[in-house]
Each structure stands twice: as structure tokens, then as C-alpha cells.
Amino acid sequence: MPLRVLVVDDTAIFRRVISDAFAALPDVQVVGVATNGRNALAKIEELNPDLVSLDIEMPEMDGVQVLEALKARTADVGVLVLSALTRRGGELTVKALNLGAFDFITKPTGGGQEESRTFLAAELGPRIKAFARKREIQKLLKQVPGGPSSRRSEPSPLPAPKPAPRPVPGPALPTARPELVVIGVSTGGPTALAQVLSRLPANFPLPILIVQHMPPLFTASLAASLDAKSPLTVKEGKDGELALPGTVYLAPGGCHMKLVAEGGGEKRIRITDDPPENHCKPSVDALFRSVANAFPGKATAVILTGMGCDGTLGCRLLKRHGGTIIAQDEATCVVFGMPKEAIQAGVVDIVVPLESIADEILRSVRGPA
């Protein structure tokens, strides 16, 4: 069965361009279009689509209000947000992701309709594949008594494309208490990060550095949202500042965030404009690699939900020097891409559901008995 999509946008040109981009993808059927939020809710009731592409900024009823209405109705429909690359667009997108939107795409700027169709088709393709996989996992979970597994140090029992090897044997250097925590995350990140950070205590003794794949202007809104939900201070990282205990630093969108060692064991943040890695900027690998080189054996790394393989090479370096690697399991991931790649590379020590990630971070901070 093709994936049934409803396109919602208040601009006729974008409705056409987005519909054409979807139509160019295999196993996707555009079943209707809507011109505003109110019209979208009526169309969802009428057409029962699997996925809605939702313009976030619309008159009468914007995308956030549509998501709030869908949440109140407990509607079983996925939502992919389309947003302008503006500060306002970033604020609304973060709200939409917190309300359960699957992912977001920034609208193309400049160029003609053909260029916009090509851009959107390239952005939509992997997201549609990931969304279809997520729906498959949800169906499987409904057939498994007791729901997702909560066993520690074991991967999800759900089928994966290929079996994950056992974690690599003991580290090259003796494992000790870590001095910092690094986290890499992408699709599904805002909700996952909110759950993890809200479960850490206000007196958490280490700095936490996070790479969330997001464009410029969006990460500031995400940092503010997470700061309101966590007992820790959450902020965008700034070039030259020291990474301090009990503070969470989010890599600014469109830049890489790295860490360097200074005298007395101080940890200084560097924000760079280096080329993208794994098509990502900020990149998880860039942060993890800098930490592995500057603080060997002194970091706990966490790989959360997300598409692609960013973070796997960095995890390999961290593991080689004695770091602890924690990964989110498939059952609780929005997209089981980044964690799967790290698990299959054999560099992960612990695989647990999202609700157990904070506990495992705290366990690693306490160090070996």
C-alpha cells in the first residue's frame, strides 16, 4: 500500500511544488491538499492520511495549532513540518517537534519551481523511508506482549536489517570516572533530549555537550525550550567559553562545536566553520573526535534517535580510548539510524530504551565500583 499524504500549505505554488515532489517518490500517493489549518483538520477526518506535510506559518490556524488539535483528538497521523529558515520559523518548528511532529524541512529559497521540486524530493526521500520504517516498528510493537524491552545492555528484540555484533572487548586504557558527557542526536531529538535532560539532577557534576542536527536560528529556540524543561542550564555553546559542570551546551546550527584541553584540565569550547561532515553541520563526529583526542578515556558518549551514520566514527575513537558508549534502542527511536550504525560497528556498551538513558548516564558518572 502506498503511503497516503495530505499536503497543507497556504500558498498555491508551494502546494503544487510539494505535491509534485511527493509524487516523484515511489510508494507515495498524494490524496489531497488543504489551504489552511482548519481545512487541514477537516481533510484529515475525511481522507485519513498516513502523513501530513504541514506548513508551520499559516493564517487563521497555524501548524502548531493544528498539532495541538491533533494531539487532543489522539489522531493516528504523522506530521512532517515545512518551515521558513527564520527565527520565527525556528521557534514554531521546535514547538511543533515538541508536540509530536515526526521531523521538519526548511522551505527552499530562491531558484525556480523545478529547483524547488528537486530540493524537496531529495529532502523528503530519506524522511519518507524513515517514517515508513517507524510505522512498521509501531505495528510490530502492538503485536509484542509487554511492549518495548527495558532490559539493560541488550538491543531491541525487533528485527534489524542485519545482526548487531557484540560490543568490542575491553578499552585500550583503564576505564575511569568520566569528566564530561557528549550526546549526538538528529530526527526526534528535541523530544528525546527533553526526556533525558529533565531526568538529570540539578547538581549533575559534569558538563554536557550536545550536537543536534539543526540549521542556524533553530538551535537557539531549542536551547531555550530545553532550558525550561531541565533543572540544568541549557544554552548554545559560544566560541572560547569554558565547559562547566552542570551546564548543557548545544552546538549552534550551521557550525561545528569542538572541545580543546587547556592547562589545569580546563575544557574550552571552539565553534568552527569547517566543512560539513556526513552532510551535517554541526556534526556529531566532529565533536566526538575532538573529545577523544583532547580527553582520552574521560567521556561518556550517548547516541540517540536520528537518520544516517553521524557519530559512529567518533564513537569508535572514544571507545578506543576507554570511553563508555550508550545507545538508544530501536523500539523507542523515532528513527533507528545513528544508534543502529554505532551498534553494528561494535562500539556500543549499553543499549537501552529512551527512558533509561539518564539512569545509564548517572551510572557511568559514578564510575567503576
How far from 353 is each of 145, 196, 283, 293, 327, CA to CA, in Å? 16, 11, 24, 29, 9
For position 145, what pLDDT does the model report? 60
Asked, for residue 217, whether it belongs to a domain, the answer is yes
Asked, for residue 153, whether it belongs to a domain, the answer is no
326: CATH: 3.40.50.180
pTM equals: 0.87
Q: Is 232 found in the same domain as 134? A: no
* pLDDT (tens digit per residue) in 248-288: 999 999 999 999 999 888 999 999 999 999 999 999 999 99
User: Average model confidence (pLDDT) for the chain?
Assistant: 89
Asked, for residue 172, whether it belongs to a domain, the answer is no
Instruction: Single out the residue in 121, 143, 165 at which a domain terminates.
Output: 143
Which long-range contacts does 85-88 make (Cβ < 8 Å, 24+ apart)? 85/109, 85/215, 85/216, 85/217, 86/217, 87/217, 87/220, 87/221, 88/57
Instruction: Calculate the CA dihedral of residues 313, 317, 320, 324 and round it to 10 degrees.
Output: -90
For position 150, what pLDDT does the model report? 40
Asked, for residue 219, whether it belongs to a domain, the answer is yes
Q: Is 301 found in the same domain as 231? A: yes
Would you place residue 368 in the very low, low, confident or very high pLDDT band (cuts 50, 70, 90)? low
CA 47, chain centre distance (Å): 29
Q: Is 324 found in the same domain as 207? A: yes
For position 133, what pLDDT does the model report? 86
Q: Is 184 found in the same domain as 136? A: no
Asked, for residue 173, whether it belongs to a domain, the answer is no
Asked, for residue 175, whether it belongs to a domain, the answer is no
Q: Is 318 found in the same domain as 200? A: yes
Question: 47 is in which domain, residue-wise?
Answer: 3-143
18: CATH: 3.40.50.2300
Asked, for residue 167, whether it belongs to a domain, the answer is no
Q: Is 218 found in the same domain as 102? A: no
Backbone angles phi, psi at 186, to 5 degrees: -140, -115
- Nearest CA to 54 among 84, 14, 16, 81? 81
Tell me which of 38-42, 58-62, 241-245, 285-289 is least confident: 58-62
Q: Is 187 found in the same domain as 54? A: no
Instruction: Calculate the CA dihedral of residues 290, 295, 301, 306 and round it to 10 degrees.
Output: 0
Residues carrying an active site annotation: 186, 213, 310
> Structural domain tally of the chain?
2
Q: Is 238 found in the same domain as 129? A: no
